[in-house]
A and B are shown apart, each in its own frame.
Chain A
Amino acid sequence: MKITFPHMGTAYIPFRALIAGLGHEAITAPPCTQRTLNLGTRHAPESACLPLKINIGNYLEAAEQGAEAIIMAGGVGPCRFGFYAYVQQEILRDIGCGLEMIILEPPASGWRPLLARLKYLTQGVNAAQISRALRLTWAKLVACDRLEQLSLDIRAYELYKGSTTRALQEAHRQVDRADSVAGVRRAVQEGTAKLQSVPQDRQRPVLTMGVVGEIYTILEPFVNFRLEEQLGEMGVVVRRRLWLSDWILHHLILSSFRKQREAQLFRWAKPYLQHFVGGHGLESVAHSIQLAHGGVDGIVHILPFTCMPEIVAQSILPLVSRDYQLPILTMVVDEHTGIAGVRTRLEAFVDLLASRRAEANSHSRGRKSLAPAATYSS
């Protein structure tokens, strides 16, 4: 079967390894572009959140390349993502696009449908092959995250603009090409070496900024306008705590054990948010506080327009900002967001953080003497 899947940053690297490993042909949709978005917005409900629309665009572009089926995750709420696959299925059906939707529901909604779909996907491959495919996929997932994490520490210091991004892309390509776990390990070693050998000026003063928010908008460079690259190139070391491997592990595989991990988040978020609110709303609040304790200069909170869990977080973050004297920039993205507007706001925010830092240094007596924190909002 020719199977495709929606894009989300570098997730295509592990996803296509999995599909190929299960004996299918993986059809990777072209990277998200304005055309993808246009296709999506034409067919998706107007007030749906942005990722749903871009997914539709991915499916249609993959269909043009011969895809026959889609693998998509389900969910048990309360966030809208849990209904994405079904709404998308209905839309594709009405368009008359013959793509078959294979929906993998998390085990929390019952093991039986999940096992049935997995059985359907793994027809004709033996247990050893499945196990090998899963191990390769996981290795690639973790490899992509680790390389990206390293790039966040290096980019702000690079001497030549774009050199870190090029090294990262090359490293990701190598991970993509690897066909064994050992190959992935080699790719990570070589990629790490390549990233570390990017010419840098480690004496340069840099700012550190946290990125929190909804996972798709954090991971997909097309919708966040290459946020992390832009910040890095402005001399900002980016810190974030939300990674794809985490999300896969906790949302799709171990959702039944999510409670344990949540307990930790609860402890951090408790003074501000006392309940799980779906999606990554709780994470956005908890991570902001953790980052504040870690000593970042500011935080960017990114979310798709009308995202329910993140609106809860957005309503609460001004308090965190006030209490921790930490500027937080909220970025709401939708199909109308333009790069110039985003860039201007990021530049203004970085300038603000730099001047706060300069002021703090001139007082050189720690955080108490900082100017009052500002919260920017769109």
Chain B
Amino acid sequence: MGTIVGIPRALAYHDYFPLWKVFLSSLGAELAVSPPTSRAIVNEGVRLAVDGTCLPVKIFYGHVSWLIQAGVDSIFLPRLISVAPKEYICPKFMGLPDMTAAAFGSQARFISPVVNLTRSPGLLHREMEGVGKGLGYSAREIRKAWDQAAAAQRDYESFLQQGNWPAEYHCRGATEVAVDKPPGAPDLRIGLLGHNYVVYDSFASMDAVSRLRAMGAQVLTVDMLSPVKIEAQAARWPKRMFWTSGRRILGAAWEYTEMPVDGIIYITAFGCGTDSLTAELVERTVRRQSRIPQLILNIDEHTGEAGVVTRLEAFVDMLRWRRTR
């Protein structure tokens, strides 16, 4: 076809990129993924977004702008309403294609299938068929691509569950693993909480993960816990948490309190509406349920590296000191 589809390396990309990539590329589309978030990308996003927007959406705008400047033909930007019954992602995800269109106007063509699994999962397939047909493929080719994509996604999720990181997924099979391994065996275990688009984005998380590993800590993410356990823990809440990510974070927080974890770090991006309440519930729950120390890192576009490093170091020192008592 010769058409280049751009995928912004932001927001839901961090959860679903194997699904999207395999689906689009096995249909024959040429893909362009924006590079990891850089200062320039953030600055561009900050310029384009309205002031009160959260950091992750600003970062998203920056990636879209990068793709447009790179000259892609269209940008894959699904409207994620719901990925599980009676759950939502976040209001901004629901309006993201409209917000992006308002910011970029006719500079790009957006491919925006609607993903809404609140009521009928069958709709997803129809939407994907629409995307495939829009690119000029037959129903049979689309079904085959979708099956391959779903398998890739399952593979990715089980890879993460085994204690791996997304960055390691890309270097699988390579003889030399390009991911920083901690020096020696880790002596601390830290449970990380937060949206994947914050935790897995080295800018939005100020590289907290590699810094912690370099300090000799083993870092766990929500993706490394068993989904069944997370679900069971989240169900302990009297009210059903209606944000998918929030629900997973709450479940993981309960799970951490019952695991040999030395400390819990919640990384949140400034302006995140769902985290403002989820983090509050997590903080109070963990404090009541356990004696595990907690750190909440709130990061925005002005956050300096030194401040984050100091706080991480102090936290890790405190965890080690606690153990010697």
**Choice from B88, B276, B281 contacting A86 with Cβ under 8 Å:** B281
Say yes or no: B98 contacts A90, CB within 8 Å: no
**Choice from B87, B95, B239 contacting A83 with Cβ under 8 Å:** B239
Chain A residue nearest to B276 (CB atoms) is: A47
Interface window among B19-27, B28-36, B45-53, B144-152:
B45-53
The answer to the question of A78 belonging to the interface, with a C-beta cut-off of 8 Å to chain B, is yes
Chain B residue nearest to A305 (CB atoms) is: B52
Most chain B CB atoms below 10 A, which of A49, A272, A314: A314
Number of chain B residues whose Cβ lies closer than 8 Å to a Cβ of chain A:
42
The answer to the question of B183 belonging to the interface, with a C-beta cut-off of 8 Å to chain A, is no
- How many angstroms from the CA of A316 to the CA of B272 in the assembled complex? 19
Say yes or no: A306 contacts B54, CB within 8 Å: yes
Residues of chain B within 8 A of A94, CB atoms compared: 284
- How many angstroms from the CA of A2 to the CA of B279 in the assembled complex? 32
Say yes or no: B277 contacts A78, CB within 8 Å: no
- How many angstroms from the CA of A275 to the CA of B52 in the assembled complex? 21
- How many angstroms from the CA of A278 to the CA of B96 in the assembled complex? 13
Say yes or no: A377 contacts B102, CB within 8 Å: no
Say yes or no: B95 contacts A273, CB within 8 Å: yes
The answer to the question of A309 belonging to the interface, with a C-beta cut-off of 8 Å to chain B, is yes
The answer to the question of B90 belonging to the interface, with a C-beta cut-off of 8 Å to chain A, is yes
Say yes or no: B242 contacts A78, CB within 8 Å: yes
The answer to the question of A129 belonging to the interface, with a C-beta cut-off of 8 Å to chain B, is no
The answer to the question of A77 belonging to the interface, with a C-beta cut-off of 8 Å to chain B, is yes
**Choice from A45, A74, A83, A272 contacting B98 with Cβ under 8 Å:** A272
Number of chain A residues whose Cβ lies closer than 8 Å to a Cβ of chain B:
45
- From 260 to 314 in chain B, residues with beta carbon under 8 angstroms from any chain A beta carbon are 270-277, 279-281, 284, 298
- How many angstroms from the CA of A278 to the CA of B274 in the assembled complex? 13
The answer to the question of B229 belonging to the interface, with a C-beta cut-off of 8 Å to chain A, is no
Residues of chain A within 8 A of B49, CB atoms compared: 315
Say yes or no: A312 contacts B99, CB within 8 Å: yes
- From 137 to 185 in chain B, residues with beta carbon under 8 angstroms from any chain A beta carbon are none
CB of A83 to closest CB in B, whole Å: 5
Say yes or no: A312 contacts B94, CB within 8 Å: yes
**Choice from B98, B241, B280 contacting A48 with Cβ under 8 Å:** B280
Given contacts A272-B98, A305-B52, A314-B52, A78 and B91 within 8 Å (CB-CB): yes
The answer to the question of B92 belonging to the interface, with a C-beta cut-off of 8 Å to chain A, is yes
18 pairs of residues in contact across A and B, judged by CB atoms under 8 Å? A47-B275, A48-B277, A49-B273, A80-B276, A82-B242, A83-B241, A86-B238, A87-B281, A90-B280, A91-B280, A274-B79, A276-B94, A306-B54, A306-B273, A308-B273, A311-B50, A312-B98, A315-B53
